């Protein structure tokens, strides 16, 4: 369990989510703990299938059920115990207390509704504004994300990819949620557009004093956007810490492996150092540390028992057995 803070916006405790299908049980998220403090951005970094999106969806109770089942856990968002709310209360929570931005802006927008109406609709539902007010506010929101307000009357297909993602952000921000969950918000965009959108998100985050969970596989975006980083592997956070702790004082062999396999703009290594092998199938997770089969430091113990969190500082931990040995270094 994580430390208690006074300014927590989100607290996830012991979250376990399985997908139960005919072919077996995929253990997508396993005993995950996470705390997001006010005004902070936590980066959730991991590879495809590591459970980062499932975690995000579970926070807003958006897991498709079936096959998704929340096996255990507690989510406290803005003081509310999410899993004890009714479906109706949940509708108010989504968008009002926390909202989510998805990777593909096209699927998040309704193609037959003008973007202005889509933003206004959110405002009418959550803030009870009347039609004229909601439209006026919608135009204001467009301005906030850098779109000329007169474009409120246009339809999603008239916007480019980057512009669409801004519209999605405008909808997510419309009710000024305390927490924004962004799931790979710029993966579908070109780098120069990505830079624009990320810059926009940074400004808005400060303007609205929002907390954020930034889900991405791109360590560059993490370095640019986040205050704290959670590295997730096979449904567990294997290393957590403040940005510099993760980047400058990397502890977990997997995190190190991610950095080593990254081609960097400013180095001339002839060969990269990939992590050997693949992430384990979530239906057949190893008994011990999920990374042990690919880890060059693994011992017999790593293969048998799941490692507990090992704290290096108040904020920085790694789930790795090897740090039992005080001499151990990567």
Partner 1 sequence: MSKKNKKAETTTGRKNISKRQDITRRFLRNRNSVIGLVVTAIFVFVALFAPILVDYDTQVIQQDIPNRLLHPGEDPDHPLGTDELGRDVMARLIYAAKMSLAIGAMAVIIAIAIGVVIGASAGYFGGRVDTILMRIMEVLDGVPSFLMALTICASLGASVYTLMIAIAVGSIAAQSRIVRSAVLTVKNNEYVEAAKAMGASDMQIIFYHIIPNCVGTIIVQFSVKIAGGILHASSLSFLGLGVQPPDPEWGAMLSGGRAYMLDNPTLTLFPGLCIMVVILAFNMLGDGLRDSLDPRLKG
Partner 2 sequence: MSEHLLEVNHLKKYFKTGKGTVQAVDDISFTLDAGKTLGLVGESGCGKSTTGRTILRLLEPTDGQVIFEGKDIAKLKPAEMRRMRQEMQMIFQDPFSSLNPRKTVEELIGEPLKWFKVHKTKAEQKEHVAKLMDIVGLAPRLANVYPHELDGGRRQRIGIARALALDPKLIVCDEPVSALDVSIQAQVLNLLKELQKEYNIAYIFITHDLSVVNHISDDIAVMYLGQIVEKAPSKELFTNPTHPYTKALLSAIPIPDPDLQVEQIPLKGEISSPINMKRDCHFAARCPYATEVCLASTPELVDRGNEHFVACHLF
C-alpha–C-alpha distance, residues 183 and 61, integer Å: 15
Site string for partner 2, 188-227 (x = CB under 8 A): --xxxxxxx-xx-----------------xxxxxxxx---
Number of residues that bind partner 2 (CB under 8 A): 46
Long-range pairs, 292-297, Cβ under 8 A, ≥24: 294/254, 294/257, 295/253, 295/254, 296/253, 297/253, 297/322, 297/328, 297/330
Q: Which does 328 bind (CB under 5 to 8 A by kind): partner 1, partner 2, none?
A: none
What's the min distance (Å) between Cβ of 32 and partner 2?
20
Q: Which does 292 bind (CB under 5 to 8 A by kind): partner 2, partner 1, none?
A: partner 1
DSSP 103: S
What's the min distance (Å) between Cβ of 242 and partner 2?
10
Q: Binding to partner 1 (CB under 8 A): which residues in 241-280?
A: 277-278, 280
C-alpha–C-alpha distance, residues 72 and 240, integer Å: 21
Q: Is 305 in the site for partner 1 (CB under 8 A)?
A: no
The set of residues, in sequence order, having a beta carbon less than 8 Å from that of 160 and lying 6+ positions away, is: 193
Are the C-beta atoms of 73 and 12 separated by less than 8 Å?
Answer: yes
Q: Binding to partner 2 (CB under 8 A): which residues in 239-298?
A: 243-244, 247-248, 257-266, 268-275, 278
Number of residues that bind partner 1 (CB under 8 A): 13
Are the C-beta atoms of 252 and 313 separated by less than 8 Å?
Answer: no
Q: Which does 128 bind (CB under 5 to 8 A by kind): partner 2, partner 1, none?
A: none
Q: Is 298 in the site for partner 1 (CB under 8 A)?
A: yes
Site string for partner 2, 157-186 (x = CB under 8 A): ---xxxx-----------------------
The tokens of 109 are what? 């927008």
Helix (H) or strand (E) holding 17, with range, is strand 8-21
Nearer CB in complex with partner 1: 144/292: 292
The tokens of 49 are what? 């299938």
Q: CB under 8 A: which stretch of 55-63, 68-76, 82-90, 290-298 binds partner 1?
A: 290-298
With 0-12 / 13-18 / 19 or more C-beta atoms within 10 angstroms meaning exposed / middle / buried, residue 109 is buried
Chain residues in the site for partner 2 (CB under 8 A): 47-48, 160-163, 190-196, 198-199, 217-224, 243-244, 247-248, 257-266, 268-275, 278
């Amino acid at each position: 369990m994580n430390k208690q803070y006074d300014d927590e916006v989100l607290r996830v405790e012991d979250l376990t989510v399985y997908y139960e299908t005919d072919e077996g049980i995929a253990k997508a998220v396993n005993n995950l703990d996470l705390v997001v403090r006010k005004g902070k951005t936590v980066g959730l970094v991991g590879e495809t299938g590591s459970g980062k999106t499932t975690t995000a969806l579970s926070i807003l109770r958006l897991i498709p059920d079936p096959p998704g089942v929340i096996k255990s856990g507690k989510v406290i968002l803005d003081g509310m115990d999410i899993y004890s709310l009714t479906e109706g209360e949940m509708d108010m929570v989504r968008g009002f207390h926390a909202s989510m931005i998805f990777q593909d802006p096209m699927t998040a927008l309704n193609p037959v509704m003008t973007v202005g109406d889509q933003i206004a609709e959110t405002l009418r539902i959550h803030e009870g504004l009347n039609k004229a007010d909601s439209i006026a506010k919608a135009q204001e929101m467009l301005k906030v994300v850098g779109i000329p307000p007169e474009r409120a009357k246009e339809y999603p297909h008239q916007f480019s990819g980057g512009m669409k993602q801004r519209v999605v952000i405008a909808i997510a921000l419309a009710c000024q949620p305390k927490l924004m969950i962004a799931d790979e918000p710029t993966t579908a965009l070109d780098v120069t557009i990505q830079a624009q959108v990320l810059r926009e998100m940074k400004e808005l985050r400060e303007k609205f004093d929002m907390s954020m969970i930034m889900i991405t596989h791109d360590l560059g975006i993490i370095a640019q956007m986040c205050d704290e980083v959670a590295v997730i592997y096979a449904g567990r956070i294997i290393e957590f810490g403040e940005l510099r702790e993760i980047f400058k004082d990397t502890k977990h062999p997997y995190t190190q492996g991610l950095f080593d396999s990254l081609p960097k703009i400013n180095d001339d290594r002839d060969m990269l150092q990939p992590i050997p092998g693949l992430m384990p199938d979530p239906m057949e997770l190893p008994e011990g540390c999920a990374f042990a089969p690919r880890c060059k430091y693994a011992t017999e113990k790593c293969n048998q028992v799941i490692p507990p969190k090992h704290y290096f500082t108040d904020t920085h931990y790694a789930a790795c057995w090897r740090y039992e040995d005080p001499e151990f270094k990567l």
